[in-house]
Amino acid sequence: MKERKRGWLWAYRKTRSYHTSMPQAFYRATRFWITGDTGSFVSHGGFRKTRIRR
């Protein structure tokens, strides 16, 4: 079985790169890992709304 490239660590790093806090990134990465979707969240210092999906 091929390992997924977009796992928990990838999602965590991606959300952190969008200038979110560590707890927010942890929550969003965990949600992405379980459901495949982070849900909408404020990023880039409050100037954007972002969502990461599989």
User: For residue 2, what pLDDT is reported?
Assistant: 56
User: For residue 4, what pLDDT is reported?
Assistant: 63
Q: Which long-range contacts (CB under 8 A, 24 or more apart) does 5-11 make?
A: 6/54, 7/33, 8/32, 8/33, 11/38, 11/52
The CA distance from 41 to 50, in Å, is 5
DSSP line for 18-49: TT--HHHHHHHHHHHHHHSB---EEEGGGTEE
Q: What is the pTM of this model?
A: 0.85
**Per-residue pLDDT at 1 exceeds 60:** no
pLDDT tens digits for 3-51? 567 899 999 999 999 999 999 999 999 999 999 999 999 999 889 999 9
User: For residue 46, what pLDDT is reported?
Assistant: 87
